[in-house]
Amino acid sequence: MKTVVDDNIASADLLNPSDALEFLAHVADRAGGNQLPPIINANMRPAQRSSSSAILRDDNRQTNGQGSSNGNVIQYPPLIQGRVTVDMIHELLVRYEERYHPYFPIANPAAMDPHNLPSIAVEEPHLLSAILTVASKDEREWWQIHEACSAHMQQLISTLVYCGDGTVEAVEALLILAEWVPRRPHSTPAIGRGEEDHAAWMHVGTAIRLGYLLGLDRAGFRNENETTLSVELNRRRLAWAACYMSDRQISVRIGKAFWSRGPGPSTGLRAHDFPSLRPRNGHGDDFAAIFQANLELTQLFSNAHDVLYSSKSRSHQLHLGGEYVKYIDDFRVAIRTWHSTWGTLSCSPHLKASLILSYEYLRLYINAFAYQATLNRIVLAQASNATTSALPTSSAAPTQHTTPSRGSATAPFTFTDVAAAPDARFIYDSIDAAKALLSTFNSFIDPVTCFRFMPLRFYLYVIWCACFLYKARETGVMGNDARGGVRRMVNDAVDRLQKASACANDVGDRYSRLIRLLWRKPPAYQSGNIGSAATGGADITRPGTAQVPPGSAPTVTFNGADNTHGQVPGQPAHPEGLHPMQQQHQQHHRTSINAFSWLDLEAVGDY
């Protein structure tokens, strides 16, 4: 296969899910606006709203104006205001413990016991409100309750930030909200640029600052005389370890620096350090072991980010120098060691699937660095050749420039054979990791009963993989025999993302539509025949291309340097080598994507 690597798609930052969301936002802008189809403004269908209101009226007759139940006063403002009922709160507590808690088991178990509701409402208001907010977010019939709980949660967080006064339960609440960000308002029309991750970043940052104020970081160090953990120390240690995990995960996703120190370097926290996560009465999943597995995986994420992605200048230096090879080899060994230890862990299928998704995402995160380094070197070679060919020859007049011809030094550098590339094993592994992640998502996770309730990060893992595989296809890494299978895999993932979404305003549905639009355009360059590239949707990532007779050597315009590929069969040749419509389209793309970062929203909009 001989494929020309286009400067626009090859140089685009696609190092983490945040870049993928920016990439998809660019898709929406080019596709005709950053707007969603009309959405019903009401939170619930009329029948559901009237039914819910009737339930509230009936239940409120059974409680007094202060939200009392069985003689115990429950000081929870939405309950006192009549916006929720005691029975609804009880149901949401059970719902949270069954569907959400297993993925991030840091909430105080006593807070999920309905019998403790009167005391928890007073002593742990942030945690209670966070639990109710999350438990009511993913089912349409609960959205009216979700709005009430979410509004109260906003007031609590505002007071917390304003006064700086909180306890460990507030830290737990903020971390839970970062994993399951509350719903966006239904009136929000824009597809968005990853606002959910921005909110998660803010929640985690506030939790870490509060944790430092409370001295939770000191709980990460073992005491020499420590034999048994007190309940309070165990809770503080678990909360700080969760701060460390959330900080690393959100920072890796959006490409930002870390904020927390994490557990002490000599601590080496293990499952026995979290006794509250052990199975109760010998039944259920061992959350302590699963937490340790995620903690060790997070440490690998942290090290990879520090070594490979600490800054753009450092990454660029590694791309050119090649020192990254020994680092990636070491990380691959560490990943295999983790998998040999935890790959056989016995737990519920949905928890095992979450571990596999995180493992494959880490594989992709590390190996994709070498893939991008290879592309960057190709683009630099293209730029060097284009600059050299633009210089006047000695026989030409000073004001004249030679027009580059096909096959001259200005011909773009081609990705002729992946197997011949120095980083071939890394490139193959990155593609394999992305495909394995999507395959796990498509084959082993039910979108409605399981994936809908998983933390936000897993949605973004799937979205990033779909964007990464698109980039791999466009840069010629995939052979013709693999492209069809990968496209079917992506389409299946898109369908499942939409099934996992409760409405068109959910993160899965919004970005899945952009992924479908992204993949609607067939690849521009096929091995031996690129004729099919002229069909499909709007071109959103590279200069305009047209059909070329089979056997012709396709070329790509590099900032307008070569127009030999532009003639459309059956159309008269244009004096400048391009059809007029293609000239207009290509002029729109003359700004090289090397000139800005995908994280610069204003620059992306201008582009």
Angle in degrees, 0-180, between the axes of helices 143-163 and 195-214, rounded to the nearest 10 = 40
Which pLDDT score is estimated for 257?
A: 79
Question: Residue 29 corresponds to which amino acid?
Answer: D
Q: How far apart are CA 296 and CA 277, in angstroms?
A: 16
The tokens describing 593, both together, are 């994507």
The tokens describing 516, both together, are 């479908």
Which pLDDT score is estimated for 55?
A: 41
Angle at 346 between CA 343 and CA 347, to 5 degrees: 110
Four-CA torsion 366, 433, 496, 521, nearest 10 degrees: 90
At 156-176, the pLDDT tens digits run 999 999 988 899 999 999 999
Query: Residue holding tokens 């590099």?
Result: 558
pTM, 2 dp: 0.76
Cβ-contact 15, 305 below 8 angstroms: no
Q: How far apart are CA 88 and CA 490, in angstroms?
A: 38
Angle at 387 between CA 384 and CA 391, to 5 degrees: 140
Spans of the chain below 70 pLDDT: 1-11, 27-72, 186-193, 222-229, 262-267, 282, 389-416, 523-607
The tokens describing 368, both together, are 């994709």
At 524-569, the pLDDT tens digits run 554 333 223 322 332 323 333 333 333 333 333 323 333 333 333 3
Q: How far apart are CA 555 and CA 415, in angstroms?
A: 12
Q: How far apart are CA 216 and CA 238, in angstroms?
A: 9
Question: Residue 160 corresponds to which amino acid?
Answer: L
Q: Among residues 562, 198, 189, which one has the least CA distance to residue 412?
A: 562
CA 186 to chain CA centroid, Å, is: 22
Which pLDDT score is estimated for 562?
A: 38
Cβ-contact 508, 497 below 8 angstroms: yes
Which pLDDT score is estimated for 439?
A: 97
The tokens describing 184, both together, are 């966006």
Which pLDDT score is estimated for 475?
A: 85
SS3 state at 166: coil
Phi–psi pair at 247, nearest 5 degrees: -65, -45
Q: How far apart are CA 607 and CA 598, in angstroms?
A: 10
Q: How far apart are CA 589 and CA 593, in angstroms?
A: 9
Query: CB 169: neighbour CB atoms within 10 A?
Result: 21
Four-CA torsion 376, 379, 384, 388, nearest 10 degrees: 180
Question: Residue 408 corresponds to which amino acid?
Answer: S
Angle at 291 between CA 110 and CA 126, to 5 degrees: 35
Angle at 450 between CA 431 and CA 141, to 5 degrees: 130
Query: CB 267: neighbour CB atoms within 10 A?
Result: 14
Phi–psi pair at 472, nearest 5 degrees: -65, -40
Q: Among residues 483, 482, 500, which one has the least CA distance to residue 442?
A: 500
Q: State the DSSP code for 190.
A: B
Burial class (CB in 10 A: 0-12, 13-18, 19+), 426: buried
Query: CB 59: neighbour CB atoms within 10 A?
Result: 17
SS3 state at 436: helix
Burial class (CB in 10 A: 0-12, 13-18, 19+), 50: exposed
Which pLDDT score is estimated for 414?
A: 46
Which pLDDT score is estimated for 481?
A: 79
Query: Residue holding tokens 């459309």?
Result: 568
Provide Rg for the chain, Cα atoms: 27
